[in-house]
A = this chain, B = another copy of it.
Amino acid sequence: MRAHNLALVLQTVANSTNQPSRAAVSAATGLTRATVSALVDDLVSGGLLVEVDPPPRTGAGRPAVGLTLTSTGPAGLGLEINVDYLAACVVDLTGAVRQRFVEHADQRPADPAQALAALGALAARARLAAEADGLIVAGAALAVPGLVAGRGLVRVAPNLGWQDIDAVAELHRVPELADLPVTVDNEANLAALGELRVTGGDPTFLYISGEIGIGAGLVLDGELYRGVRGWSGEIGHVTVYPDGRPCRCGSRGCLEQYAGQEALESGEPLAAAALGIALSAVVNLLDVPVIVLGGAYAPIFERLREGIEAELRQRVLTSGLAPVALRPAALGADAAMRGAADAIIRAVREDPAGWLRRSSQRYV
């Protein structure tokens, strides 16, 4: 009950547009002022909330002290490995990005252990910089362009040439990360979740992420749809031309061969048409009203838009009844690592009691 109420108070402060007083939190939650005060004391002493001076007020009464999320407490470390870059960021409890490192380099020549060691070094830099800045990194989440099977095992990442790689174990070899909880997820899934939380708008959309490979994250009614084995969203391997170009995956005519980053450089109109064909299949199957273009598609969105829309108009059965909205990702190319960091922060915000317990054990 206390754990539930701690989360309720923390979320109430987090979701406020101003800096609410204890009395305002009491009114919003229905908890008594005494209960709220005790919970707020715990959240303040545990380093999750801070008290701020009220703005000077004219008029009667003493203005109350406001509450806000701390910018020096727990933080999330978001990591991404993709075919041509490594990235790490640290996001604090308020959602602000506090550290951001991106290293462009082709990862395909490296073996998985080398690539993850390089990412681990970047992650260690980000963590140390964040902790020098007063933050406590609560955990890390890693975004990978491939299929993940629970507990950090990357089953297949076709464009990296990875198979059955224990990414968590590799990251834990880096001394500065050895004590850190690490989770792994598909990059498009994390990017879609990042997009969902940042925009807070459409509850149902497809997020499509264009890199060397192409992935998608499907958000249905505000929830990421992962599929039965967690392997949904492999839109890069949807066939657009059945007898078309051979793909690394062993099939032919995959979307990736026409609209992946390498194909994109040589022919945007062909890429837009191929995207339009594959996205029409998504809309016909799922009646998804919004498509968000992320990764490499975000900066060239306006150049792809018309070609995609032409295919949607022709190929979506209901296009005459209700148009499909296309938009670029709000988080741009950082969506996956931001979504990863956000997953850590979200876990703290949803279970502050767990965080207080773990952090008191750590620092006793």
Contact = CB atoms under 8 A, between A and B. Distances in A.
Interface stretch (A13-21, A31-39, A229-237): A229-237
Q: Which residue among A237, A238, A273, A288 has the maximum number of chain B CB atoms within 10 Å of its CB?
A: A238
Interface stretch (A102-110, A311-319, A350-358): A311-319
Contact of A237 (B147, B158, B230, B315): B315
Q: Is the interface of A mostly helix, strand, loop or mixed?
A: loop
A240 interface: yes
B155 A321 contact: yes
A315 B155 contact: no
Contacts of A158: 317
B315 A239 contact: yes
Contact of A249 (B233, B241, B282, B317): B317
A7 to B, nearest CB: 26
Given A234-B318, A239-B280, A251-B315, A286 B155 contact: no
Contacts of A259: none
B288 A228 contact: yes
Contacts of A235: 284-285
Contacts of A281: 238-239, 278, 281, 285
A277 interface: yes
B230 A287 contact: yes
Interface in A235-266: 235, 237-242, 249-252
Contacts of A50: none
Interface residues of A, number: 48
Nearest to A281: B238
A322 to B, nearest CB: 6
A218 B230 CA distance: 17
Q: Which residue among A216, A250, A289, A315 has the maximum number of chain B CB atoms within 10 Å of its CB?
A: A315
Given A218-B285, A220-B225, A228-B287, A277 B233 contact: no
Give the top 4 A-B pairs by smallest Cβ distance, nearest first.
A227-B287, A234-B284, A232-B287, A231-B287
Given A231-B287, A237-B284, 16 more contacts: A147-B318, A227-B286, A229-B287, A231-B317, A231-B321, A232-B285, A232-B287, A234-B284, A238-B280, A238-B281, A239-B277, A242-B277, A249-B317, A251-B317, A282-B285, A285-B286
